[in-house]
Amino acid sequence: MNILLTGGLGYIGSHVTVVLAEAGHHVIILDNLHNCKIEVLDRLAKILGNSPAFIQGDVRNQLLVESVLKDQKIDAVMHFAGLKAVGESVQKPLMYYENNVGGTISLLQAMKSCQVKKIVFSSSATVYGIPQYLPLDEKHPTNPESPYGQTKLQIEAILQDLARSDQSWKIIALRYFNPVGAHESGLIGEEPNGIPNNLMPYISQVASGLLPKLKIFGNDYETPDGTGVRDYIHVMDLAEGHVCALNYLYNNESEFSIMNLGTGAGYSVLELVKLYQKVSSRKITYEIAAKRAGDIAACYANADKAAVHMVWKAKRSLEKMCEDSWRWQSRG
Ligand code: WQD
C-alpha cells in the first residue's frame, strides 16, 4: 500500500519508514525539516537499498497535502508531524496548539476532500497525567499536565468525533510510552536539537563525553530506589506496532481505537544508568538534583489491548535498547 508519513524523517517516523518498507509498503514522507535533518533520507536509503519518496512541506499546507494524497495515490496516513517538547509547550502554548492541533485539522480536511480515510495517529502516554493506578490501561482517566499533552488529547477527541460523524473513517491513536534506542544499523536514531530533555539521549551523550554529567531529578520518589520509573520501549518495537496498527485498520470494523504502546515494565533512572555503563563500558557521572517540575514518580503501561487486538507485543530488552542507543551515539 501507499502510505504517507507526515514527519517521516523524525525519530519515530524514520524507524517506522524502515519497517513499513521492509513489509512491502510504498512509503511517501512529508516533512518540513523543522526538527530533523535531510541526511536521514540518505541513511534510510542505505538501510533500505533505495530512497523513500520525500516531499519537503508542512501538513498545514492543505493544498500541498491534497496534491500529495492524489498524485501518490495514498491509501493511508501515519501522522507523526508535530512539536513534542513538554517544557517548550508550557512556554509557547499557542505554537503547540497551532502546529499540533491546527496541523492535524488541516491534514484531516485534505484527507476528507481526497477520500483518504485511514489514519494512524502518534499520541502519547502523557495524556494520562498523574497515574491514579498502575499499570496504565486505555481506560485510565486522561488529565495531561502540559499543553503538549493537551494537544495530543484534543487531537484524539477530534479523531473520535470525526469517526463518529462518518463511519467510513478507520482511525487508531497509539499512545507511546518512552521510546528509546535506535535501528541496529546505527545509521538512524534520536537526534535531539541542543541539550536533550529526555533521559536516554542525555545519558548517551554523557557516555560519549559530549556532556559532563547527568543530573538525576530526585531520588526520594516512592519507587524502589527513589528515582523515577518509566516504561522504556525500543523504537523498533514501537515501529513494528505501527505495521500491526495498519493491518488492524484494514481488518477490523471499529472506526476509532486507542492502543498503548509500551512494554508493561518500569525501570528506574538508576537502573538505566547502571545498564548503560555496562553496555558502553563508560562511566556515567551523575549527581542528584531537585525534582523536575511536572515529573511523576512512576509510569508504565498495561499493553494487553494491543496484544489482543493488534497481536503486537514489545520484545526487545532494556539492554538491547541501551546497546542500540550506544551504537548510534558512538557511530563516529
Ligand atoms: C524520564 C525519567 C526524569 C532527564 C517525556 C515526555 C513524554 C514523552 C516521553 C513525547 C524521569 C528522569 C530525565 C534528565 C533525569 N515524549 N530524568 N534527568 O518525562 O517520562 O516523558 O518523554 O511524547 O511526553 O514527558 O521522559 O526521558 O524526560 O524522563 O533524571 O536529565 O528520567 O525525572 O524520571 P518523561 P524523560
84 lines ligand 1 (CB under 6 A): yes
8 C-alpha to center of ligand 1: Å?
23
**Concatenated DSSP letters of 289-300:** EPPPTT--SEE-
Do 149 and 93 touch, CB atoms closer than 8 A?
no
Supply the pLDDT for residue 216: 98
330 C-alpha to center of ligand 1: Å?
22
What is the dihedral sign for C-alpha 298, 302, 303, 305? negative
- What is the DSSP secondary structure assignment for residue 301, as one 8-state letter? B
Q: All 3 cell numbers of residue 296?
A: 511523576
**Cα torsion at 50, 243, 186, 74 (round to 10°)?**
40
Topology (CATH) of 2-180+232-262: Rossmann fold (3.40.50)
Q: All 3 cell numbers of residue 3?
A: 502510505
Residue located nearest, by CA, to atom 9 of ligand 1: 178
At 290, the amino acid letter reads A
The alpha helices in 224-329, defined as continuous H runs, are 235-251, 269-280, 304-309, 318-329
Q: All 3 cell numbers of residue 228?
A: 523515577
202 lines ligand 1 (CB under 6 A): yes
Question: What does residue 6 show for φ and ψ, rounded to 5 degrees?
Answer: -80, 135
Q: All 3 cell numbers of residue 307?
A: 496484544
36 lines ligand 1 (CB under 6 A): no
228 lines ligand 1 (CB under 6 A): yes
In angstroms, the CA 264 to CA 177 distance is 10
Supply the pLDDT for residue 253: 85
> 3-class SS at 306?
helix
Q: Say if pTM beats, i.e. exceeds, 0.95.
A: yes
Q: Is 148 a catalytic residue?
A: yes
Q: Cα Rg for the chain, rounded, in angstroms?
A: 19
Number of Cβ within 10 Å of residue 51's Cβ equals 13
The residue to mutate among 127, 134, 145, 199, having the most atoms of ligand 1 within 8 angstroms of its beta carbon, is 199
223 lines ligand 1 (CB under 6 A): no
Q: Which helix (H) or strand (E) holds 112?
A: helix 103-113
Question: What does residue 241 show for φ and ψ, rounded to 5 degrees?
Answer: -60, -30
Task: Say which residue the cell 538491547 belongs to.
Answer: 320
Do 178 and 237 touch, CB atoms closer than 8 A?
no
Supply the pLDDT for residue 223: 98
Residue 249, CA distances (Å) to 115, 291, 331 in order: 16, 41, 37
In angstroms, the CA 152 to CA 174 distance is 10
222 C-alpha to center of ligand 1: Å?
17
In angstroms, the CA 172 to CA 151 distance is 16
Task: Say which residue the cell 484531516 belongs to.
Answer: 108
52 C-alpha to center of ligand 1: Å?
31
Supply the pLDDT for residue 40: 97
Cis, bond preceding 141 (omega within 30 deg of 0): no
Domain locations in the chain? 2-180+232-262
The tens-digit pLDDT sequence of the chain (332 residues) is 999 999 999 999 999 999 999 999 999 999 999 989 999 999 999 999 999 999 999 999 999 999 999 999 999 999 999 999 999 999 999 999 999 999 999 999 999 999 999 999 999 999 999 999 999 999 999 999 999 999 999 999 999 999 999 999 999 999 999 999 999 999 999 999 899 999 999 999 999 999 999 999 999 999 999 999 999 999 999 999 999 999 999 999 889 999 999 999 999 999 999 999 999 999 999 999 999 988 999 999 999 999 999 999 999 999 999 999 999 999 97
235 lines ligand 1 (CB under 6 A): no
Supply the pLDDT for residue 254: 86
- What is the DSSP secondary structure assignment for residue 125, as one 8-state letter? G
Supply the pLDDT for residue 315: 98
- What is the DSSP secondary structure assignment for residue 135, as one 8-state letter? S
